[in-house]
Every structure is written in C-alpha cells, then in structure tokens.
Amino acid sequence: MKNLVPLALALFASAAACAADASSEQRLPYTCDNGSRIEIGFAADAEGRPFARLHFADEALTLPQVPSASGTLYRSGDIRLSTKDNEAMFEDGKGNLRHCRQGDQPPAGYAPPAASNNFIDLHGNVRYLARIALPPNALLTLLIQDISRPRPLTLVEQQYELNGAQVPIPFAATIDRDLVGKRARIAVSARIEVGGKVRFASAKPVPALQDGQPVPVELILKPVGRAPR
C-alpha cells in the first residue's frame, strides 16, 4: 500500500462499529474559531479501524476514519473532521465549518471556506459474478484515479482487510475538490487479493463523475487468470 494518508477511500461502517474501551482513547482539547471548545479522542475499534470521537458538553460523536489525500479525515454521513498536525476542521453537516486548534487558544485571522465546495463524495459497491466465497484473509484494494492524463494519476489507494465480509461490498470515499482539476476524469477500480495473489480485479476503471457530479459506482471484478465468459 502506498504511503498516502487516507483522502478520500472507505468502506461503509456504522458508528457502533467504532465502539472501543474509553480508556484507550487519546483525548486532546481543541479550541475553535468561534470560541467553542471540544475534546477529541483518537483510538481504534476492536478490528483495528481508527476513529475519532468528539466530546461535546452533553454528547459524544464518533466518526470512522476514511481515506484522505491530505491530512487525516474522519466522516459519518455529512459530518466530517479533518486533522493535520495540531489543526482540525470540523464540518457539522449543516453547512457550518469550524477551524480548531489543539490547546486553549483559538486560531487567529482565519476565514473558513464554504463547506459545500470542499469535498466530493464517492460511493458504490464492489462485487464479482463468480459463486465463490472470500476467505477471512481476503484483502480489498481500492483506487481512485484521474484518468484524463496519459499516465493516470492516483489520488487515493487504500487497502482493507475484509475479515470475512462477502460481496457486494459497499464503499465510500471523500476526496478534496482542490485536488481535482476542471478537466479531470475521476474513475475507480479495485482488486481483491488472497495470500498475496490477485484473485479478482477491475477490467478497467469505472467513471465516478457525470457532469462534474458523483454518481454511484458499480465495480464488477473479473477473475484473474481466467478467460471472461
């Protein structure tokens, strides 16, 4: 797996899947540009998947980590938390974007950008037609690329241990709009490996945008080493 900070690829997971022993959380105080303060805990669930838990005055909100090309991104639905170094950006899903900084002092002189222009959300399913169950050690690799170039540019490459999950496997990915040029052609491909050998793979990348807007992506993988029927 390439050393890309996850920007945008992720399997759908419920908030309950991020449950973990509170004692394992590393809770850090943050102060935001509107003067509010929150504590953010960082930990991993029982299957080793990282998450962030935002502790407000009267509730806690858990966000699983999803792929991101810059910094680290946590997301549940339209609610997002992006962290890099000691900075954090929190989008509450209602069009409000807060810039926060670790510690007791709020960030100074910061004008938040419009939340609606920051992200492109991609989603879809990975499947194959063969009636074969995947073993517990199967590994899924997802690629998001800009295929408008002579040599496709990989925006996100992320691997997931499936731990017994079977097709169809839903996925979601969030990419920064700033990383995508006006002429970009964003496409998604995938492969499934077992024991270091590729068993199923995309025949070609599948477009993920239509008229600049995301559309559902259905990846139907082909068996590797077999002639297509």
What would the 3-class secondary structure string for the chain be? CCCCCCECEEECCCHHHHCCCHHHCEEEEEEECCCCEEEEEEEECCCCCEEEEEECCCCEEEEEEECECCCEEEEECCEEEEEECCEEEEECCCCCEEEEEECCCCCCCCCCCCHHHCEEEEEEEEEECCCCCCCCCCEEEEEEEECCCCCCEEEEEEEEECCCCCCCEEEEEEEEHHHCCCCCCEEEEEEEEECCEEEEECCCCEECEECCEECCEEEEEEECCCCCC
**Whole-number pLDDT of residue 193:** 96
DSSP bridge partners of 157: 143
C-beta of residue 220 within 8 angstroms of C-beta of residue 129: yes
Q: Residue 117: what pLDDT? A: 52
How many angstroms separate the CA atoms of 157 and 72, rounded? 14
- Summarize pLDDT for 65-99 with one digit per residue, the tens: 988 767 789 998 889 999 988 899 888 887 788 88
Partner residues linked to 87 by β-bridges: 84, 101
Torsion angle (degrees, nearest 10) of CA 228, 141, 49, 57 = -100
The predicted model scores a pTM of 0.52
Mean pLDDT per 10-residue interval, the chain, length 229 residues: 37 39 73 80 87 81 84 88 90 82 75 57 92 94 91 86 90 78 88 95 94 91 71
Q: What are phi and psi of 222, to 5 degrees?
A: -105, 145
Residue 20's pLDDT is 41
Write the pLDDT tens digit of every residue in 129-143: 999 999 999 999 999
